[in-house]
Amino acid sequence: MKPPESANFRQRFFKPIELSTWTLALLTLLLAWRLPLTEAEQQQMLLLLLGVALYAWLFFRWLVPRYGGRAWLDYLGMTANILIVARAQELLSPYEAHVDL
């Protein structure tokens, strides 16, 4: 059975988002090494990055191919992205770094 056209569109639409998620995670890791973070902040940053990596892998490699046409998938992605950006902003705010969505 052929998947609906909306599922194919979502898979193609999510590809650049997936690539940018991985790129931003790697750039954030480099930034975390360069900022004068305390050991606790470094651990929090690494946990956040591991969470982002797990989210990106699960969302883009498992959920989108299986459930690409469902509306709840869009809400899950939006909620996860908002939580990630909010946590990153909180970690980087003492260094006057601003994170935008």
CA distance 92 to 72: 30
Contacts of 99 (CB under 8 A, 6+ apart): 85, 88, 89, 92
On whether the pTM is more than 0.85, the answer is no
Q: What local confidence, expressed as pLDDT, does residue 98 receive?
A: 63
> What is the average pLDDT across 49-57?
87
